[in-house]
Amino acid sequence: NAGVTQTPKFQVLKTGQSMTLQCAQDMNHEYMSWYRQDPGMGLRLIHYSVGAGITDQGEVPNGYNVSRSTTEDFPLRLLSAAPSQTSVYFCASSYSSASGANVLTFGAGSRLTVL
């Protein structure tokens, strides 16, 4: 059981380049999300999906695009990278526990540097 798999783990881009961060989960979770982590700011939600074909914006969606064609995959696209998008990105999926709490399982993170 691999859990949540993110690729690549590290990436360096030049300003204006585009790229896709991949995320896959094998737990059959309906909900998936992307967060970014910046120093001193905790994790902030970029986009999320409650199921295949359904996506929505989080707190900081500008400059990012997502799609959810399958339950397993939730890629994050940077359309035209900017230095402000230098960050660590986390993908997560979640299930509902018996108590009703939605427990997120995180990937290992992807460190992106935009020069």
Partner 1 sequence: AQTVTQSQPEMSVQEAETVTLSCTYDTSENNYYLFWYKQPPSRQMILVIRQEAYKQQNATENRFSVNFQKAAKSFSLKISDSQLGDTAMYFCAFNTGANNLFFGTGTRLTVIP
Q: Name the burial class of residue 99, with classes exposed (0-12), middle (13-18) and buried (19+) by CB atoms within 10 angstroms of its CB.
A: exposed
Q: Which of residues 1-30 bind partner 1 (CB under 8 A)?
A: none
Question: Would you count residue 115 as binding partner 1 (CB under 8 A)?
Answer: no
Cβ pair 11, 98 in contact under 8 A: no
74 touching partner 1, by CB under 8 A: no
Smaller CB separation from partner 1, 17 or 88: 88
Residue 106 touches partner 1, criterion: CB under 8 A? yes
Of 31, 47, 45, the C-alpha closest to 96 is 31
Does the footprint of partner 1 cover residue 71 (CB under 8 A)? Answer: no
